[in-house]
Amino acid sequence: MNATTASVILVSLFTVAGSAQLSDLTLQRLQGAALLAARPLELSVNGGCSRTYYADEQMVISVTSPLDGYLYLFYFRADGIVTMMLFPCRHFWDDLPVVVKAGASFTLPPDSARISLAIAPPLGIEALLGLVIPSEQTDLVSYFRAYDASEYAYRTGDQEGFALFLARKIVDLQARGVECAAALCVYTSVSVLPVSSPAPPQPPLPAEACAVGPDFRCASAVWPPECLPEGADIAAMPREQLPDTFGPGDDAILLPAGHYTGTLGEGDWQDWYRIRAAYGDAFIVWLDPGGLVVDLYLVHDPCGDVLAECLSAGTATTMHVPCYAGVDCPDLGECFLDGECRFFIRVVWRGGSGNYRLSILKGFPEIPSP
């Protein structure tokens, strides 16, 4: 998920290495779940379902329910691994009611939301299942190991099992006389834009050629050139101005892969940013201090442990940031256990003045053999 001044959910999260895909059994069970419901739910993405979407395309989900009830939206990612509880989730949709009214159209995200949706790798056949149930179903949330719908939760590695759980859930509701509505939206996402669409401002990063070692580390003035498109110059990349962020937590802006510029000085001595990755992803964090001298830290979110540091950096430097199941952090052992790695980037002023350049490049981790 990424953010500028507002948050942007990358619906497919981040790139995952491997050949896994949404299985036929998962799709069959989801189709069965939708058919088992007593009432059909009107569910569409950008006005339809059976179509092709392109990377970075913004999505709008529309729901019209035939009955009053609690809305649940579950996203099944194309890698065959990750399932996301897209709604309800107060982490993103804190201002939205969880109950929809019969016959009323519900749009996600609404026009006033701080969140937007965008297609991102891994790409392929994806699915969105919608449910409306008259009473709240806490087990649908706890299945994701989340305490309640205020948490941001994924489930990894069990799409087929969760699809079967949903089908059985609907059968159980029907047996108890609880009428529910359901619908399934299956669509395909690809990376190539149609000829009629405007080209993106820069070519996509070739993540399959951007390998990051298994350790969090700082490397002065060294970064893998294959992490940028061939012939690209990192110094000449168009850059987005970063806002000042003075501390960790929710005050730290969540950044997607991209190219940025920030400012530090005596009266503005530190910036905090966040990055997140799903298992099987990696980042190269590149910082050119320009006329500044800075300390650059990679910090565990939320524990606060420093995973890597580049101290008194006066020249361009990089941090290697892998994310995979079993990755260890100092003093924490296996520190990311929910299918996602969360980090803070902290930039601390030590001397000089002016702007620094920050680039976040996506890649994949070199996972050690067991």
- What are 291-302's pLDDT values in tens digits? 999 999 999 988
Whether the CB-CB separation of 204 and 299 falls below 8 Å is answered with no
Whether the CB-CB separation of 121 and 14 falls below 8 Å is answered with yes
How many whole angstroms separate alpha carbon 111 and alpha carbon 307?
Answer: 39
Structure token pair of residue 70: 């609690």
Q: Which CB contacts under 8 angstroms, 24+ apart, belong to 57-62?
A: 57/118, 57/119, 58/116, 58/117, 58/118, 59/11, 59/117, 59/118, 59/119, 60/107, 60/108, 60/109, 60/117, 61/107, 61/108, 61/117, 61/128, 62/105, 62/106, 62/107, 62/108
Whether the CB-CB separation of 259 and 320 falls below 8 Å is answered with no
Q: Find the range with the poorest average confidence among 110-114, 251-255, 296-300.
A: 110-114
Give the per-residue pLDDT at 203: 43
Q: What letter does residue 265 receive in the DSSP assignment?
A: B
| Confidence band of 262 (pLDDT split at 50, 70, 90) | very high
Structure token pair of residue 317: 């430097």
Structure token pair of residue 6: 């507002």
Asked if the model's pLDDT at residue 325 lies above 80, the reply is: yes
Structure token pair of residue 343: 């980090």
Give residue 211's identity as a one-letter amino acid code.
A
How many whole angstroms separate alpha carbon 58 and alpha carbon 54?
Answer: 9
Kind of pairing, strands 39-40 and 181-190? parallel
How many whole angstroms separate alpha carbon 100 and alpha carbon 327?
Answer: 41
Higher pLDDT, 43 or 114: 43
- What are 267-279's pLDDT values in tens digits? 788 999 999 998 8
How many whole angstroms separate alpha carbon 83 and alpha carbon 340?
Answer: 12
CA 128 remoteness from chain centre = 16
Residue labelled with tokens 């609690």 = 70
Whether the CB-CB separation of 260 and 287 falls below 8 Å is answered with no
Give the per-residue pLDDT at 15: 36
Instruction: Please check whether the domain covering 207-365 is classified as CATH 3.40.630.10.
Output: no
| Confidence band of 236 (pLDDT split at 50, 70, 90) | confident
Cα dist from 154 to 112, 223, 341, whole Å: 25, 31, 12
- What are 186-217's pLDDT values in tens digits? 888 887 654 444 444 444 444 456 888 888 98
Structure token pair of residue 208: 């399959």
How many whole angstroms separate alpha carbon 118 and alpha carbon 115?
Answer: 10
How many whole angstroms separate alpha carbon 232 and alpha carbon 245?
Answer: 29
Q: What angle do the packed helices 24-36 and 159-175 form, to 10 degrees? A: 20
**In terms of DSSP H, where are the helices of the chain?**
24-36, 138-142, 159-175
Instruction: State the virtual CA torsion across 311, 317, 318, 319 in degrees, nearest 10.
Output: 0
Whether the CB-CB separation of 49 and 58 falls below 8 Å is answered with no
Asked if the model's pLDDT at residue 69 lies above 50, the reply is: yes
Kind of pairing, strands 82-87 and 69-76? antiparallel
